[in-house]
Amino acid sequence: MKNGFIAGLLILLASVGCLARDFGWAARDNSVFPIGWTADGACFAYGTFDYSIMISNQGRLRIAVRNMKTDKDLWEHSQSWDEGNTGDGSGDIVPRTAAEAWNRVKNTVEPRLAKFKIVTGGPVAPDRFPIVNGDSLDIGIAEQPEADYQVPYTVRAVSRNLGSKTIHQGARPTGNELSLLGYFPSPDGTRIAVILIERSFSFPFPSYYVIGCHTKNGFKKD
């Protein structure tokens, strides 16, 4: 009985320690902010926040845990706010920064992040390419001719020493703009989260693409 009580107490203390971690440490003014990685670098947790005054004051926050081997989200939480344009004060009070938005949702998202054993830390904003560390690793976006109001594109990682590889393929609507924001490195540097942003002229919020890339494996010489 005593051993069971002690074991339960240890589990409780461990969970309290996880929840006490500051998962929102990087939620400042950046549109994309890191939360952290799992210790093995397989999963990356991040957030995006955007504020717009198109039509009315609007804000949108998204938190996700992504498997960087499969480029699939394991969990996500999204929330949006809209003050409306009626002028009667009946709409939401919209957060103006990622930090303010995080404070609105942290009690909901932090227990879920703790279950994934996310280790916090790293650069606050995406680092820029190329990565130079005994090699030169860069990311390029190649677009194909437009087809059916879509512009197909391929994202490739190019290593001076190892060759190149395709890490993502997609298509953007004609008129949208696709650009590279940078990357967040895993703690051991073997994997990176490549961040793309797609901006639309007809929708207030951009789309973000988080793409996993191993820095050593999968390359082929041309």
pLDDT band with cut points at 50, 70 and 90 for residue 45:
very high
User: How many other β-carbons are positioned within 10 Å of the β-carbon of residue 31?
Assistant: 17
Task: Supply the pTM of this predicted model.
Answer: 0.86
Using a 10 angstrom Cβ sphere, with 0-12 exposed, 13-18 middle and 19 or more buried, the burial of residue 47 is buried
Q: Which residues contact 31 (CB under 8 A, 6 or more apart)?
A: 48, 49, 50, 98, 197, 206
Which pLDDT score is estimated for 7?
43
pLDDT in tens, 191-208: 999 999 999 988 889 999
Is residue 87's pLDDT more than 80? no
Is residue 77's pLDDT more than 80? yes
Is residue 186's pLDDT more than 70? yes
Here the tokens at position 141 are: 């976006």
Least confident window among 34-43, 52-61, 85-94, 111-120: 85-94
CB 35 within 8 A of CB 63: yes
What is the rounded average pLDDT of the residues 5-23? 50
Which pLDDT score is estimated for 139?
98
pLDDT band with cut points at 50, 70 and 90 for residue 56:
confident
DSSP state for residue 203 in the 8-state scheme: S
Q: Which residue, chain included where needed, has tokens 């999968």? A: 218
CA distance 152 to 47: 26
User: Nearest 5°: phi and psi at 85?
Assistant: -125, 25
What is the rounded average pLDDT of the residues 75-81? 96
What is the rounded average pLDDT of the residues 170-190? 96
Sign of CA dihedral 20, 110, 98, 40: positive
Rg (C-alpha) for the chain, rounded Å, is: 20
Mean pLDDT, rounded, of the chain: 89
Phi-psi region of 216 (alpha: psi -120 to 50; beta: other; left: phi over 0): alpha
CA distance 5 to 1: 6
Here the tokens at position 35 are: 């939360």
Residue (of 58, 39, 35) closest to 48 by Cα position? 35
Here the tokens at position 143 are: 């677009």
pLDDT band with cut points at 50, 70 and 90 for residue 180:
very high
Chain length of the chain: 222
Which pLDDT score is estimated for 20?
61
Q: Which residue, chain included where needed, has tokens 């590889």? A: 165
Is residue 85's pLDDT more than 80? no
Which pLDDT score is estimated for 10?
37
Sign of CA dihedral 215, 219, 221, 222: negative
DSSP state for residue 18 in the 8-state scheme: H
